[in-house]
Amino acid sequence: MSPLDLTRAGAASLDEANPLRGCRDLFDLPEGVVYLDGNSLGALPRAVAPHLARVVGAEWGGGLISSWNDADWINLPARVGARIAALIGAPADDVHVGDSTTVLLFKTMVAASRMRPDRRVVVVEPTTFPTDGYVAAGVAELLGLELRWCDPADPAASLDDDVALLALTHVDFRSGALFDMATLTAAAHDVGALVQWDLCHSAGAIPVDLVGVDADFAVGCTYKYLSGGPGSPAYAYVAARHQDRFRQPITGWMGHAHPFEMERDHVPADGVRRVASGTPPVLALSALEAALGVFDGVDLGTLREVSLSLTDYFIALLDDRLGDPFEVITPRERERRGSQVSLRHPDAYGVVQALIARGVVGDFRTPDVARFGFAPLYVSHVDVWDAVEALVAVLASFEHLHPAYAVRNLVT
């Protein structure tokens, strides 16, 4: 890699050469804000508001109940699932969208454990996102299984022939470290275990190839890099080879083979549709469907290169201009890094709040981590330069020590 030009003009040159630079115009970004929190809530795509207005006004307001057929609301989960499938290396028919991440983690963990009835262990990584750990503990209690916490540096060391399921997050939410999905999936399969991947912090910023790595299950949210909106529906992938044996624990009417026959007994639908439970959230799915249009024509390899360029630039600027005050806890090796950079600092909360006051939005994770997400469709290298410039100013003027930042607020 040639030496980076660490001036603002150098950042502008990198943006000029960015093959995805036109994608930024697809988002409604607030003036004067550098938004580096797309790994928590993605920015608003411009197409969402007018599309949602049409759904509400014409389809709901005008079409009323007929829009389940006339506007094809009933097939929204399948249509949106097909669009997400293209971003995670899955066949269009193998992804279901609906419910929350938590619910889909529960469904897939229970179903996977039931597929290995003679095995008694679920392996989870202890620094995983709390929901994943909470759900795994609940499933273990419900099914009488052992919850085994693995070494984050070597999850494969916890695998043996008693493991039913290995459940990992592809990118660590605190550090931004990226697991080797292919190697760990193969290691689990070598001992006869199944694997579930949480893609919340990777899909939409990092190429994922679920079929290529032979993954069994995957779950992900859509409100981070996919920009589906706050609380937008999550998705679940079930490998085709498992779908006929997938026995999920929440057998609602939309997962029935013939939902409108109103039969007393539950008969699972064919394929991934059996993952469904309740009525599709039409408004949320409609917003998500419009949002996913920002990925039309985007090459995922190019997306990854832009992501790495942004994070490389951020780290280089930190090294050049700040040095000791921060510990970069995100791996510097490109192949081990997601699309965020996390910094450890004893006053990380105050640093984040002072940056927000200056119009640079990142976020904080307990106990001492400042996170900065680089959504490659709309974050620019100039954004990165401006963010570091603000960070330098915050530390130089001790703004992060302001008494107002001594008490944490609800989100950041």
The pLDDT score that the predictor gives to residue 71 is 98
**Collapsed DSSP state (helix, strand, coil) of residue 404:** helix
Q: Reply yes or no on domain 49-295 having CATH 3.40.640.10.
A: yes
198 is catalytic: yes
- Distance between CA atoms of residues 345 and 216, nearest Å: 38
Q: Which amino acid is at 171?
A: V
At 227, list the tokens: 């920009």
Q: What is the pTM of this model?
A: 0.96
The pLDDT score that the predictor gives to residue 407 is 72
Among candidate residues 172, 337, 371, 372, the one labeled active-site is: 371
Q: Checking DSSP bridges between strand 121-124 and strand 95-97, what pairing results, if any?
A: unpaired
Among candidate residues 129, 314, 372, 378, the one labeled active-site is: 129
371 is catalytic: yes
Among candidate residues 24, 116, 148, 224, the one labeled active-site is: 224
Biggest alpha carbon distance in the chain? 69
The pLDDT score that the predictor gives to residue 326 is 92
Among all chains, which residue has been given the structure tokens 């960015």?
Answer: 18
- Distance between CA atoms of residues 109 and 194, nearest Å: 10
Domain boundaries 8-31+299-406, CATH class: alpha beta
- The answer to whether the CB of 351 falls within 8 A of the CB of 403 is no
Q: Which amino acid is at 139?
A: V
The pLDDT score that the predictor gives to residue 411 is 60
224 is catalytic: yes
- Distance between CA atoms of residues 296 and 356, nearest Å: 31
Q: Quick one: which of 208, 188, 190, 192 has its CA closest to 200?
A: 208
The pLDDT score that the predictor gives to residue 2 is 60
Per-residue pLDDT of the chain (412 residues; tens, 9 = 90+): 468 999 999 999 999 999 999 999 999 999 999 999 999 999 999 999 999 999 999 999 999 999 999 999 999 999 999 999 999 999 999 999 999 999 999 999 999 999 999 999 999 999 999 999 999 999 999 999 999 999 999 999 999 999 999 999 999 999 999 999 999 999 999 999 999 999 999 999 999 999 999 999 999 999 999 999 999 999 999 999 999 999 999 999 999 999 999 999 999 999 999 999 999 999 999 999 999 999 999 999 999 999 999 999 999 999 999 978 899 999 999 999 999 999 999 999 999 999 999 999 999 999 999 999 999 999 999 999 999 999 999 999 999 999 999 777 756 5
Among candidate residues 198, 312, 347, 363, the one labeled active-site is: 198
- Distance between CA atoms of residues 87 and 98, nearest Å: 17
At 294, list the tokens: 């920002």
Spans of all domains in the chain: 8-31+299-406, 49-295
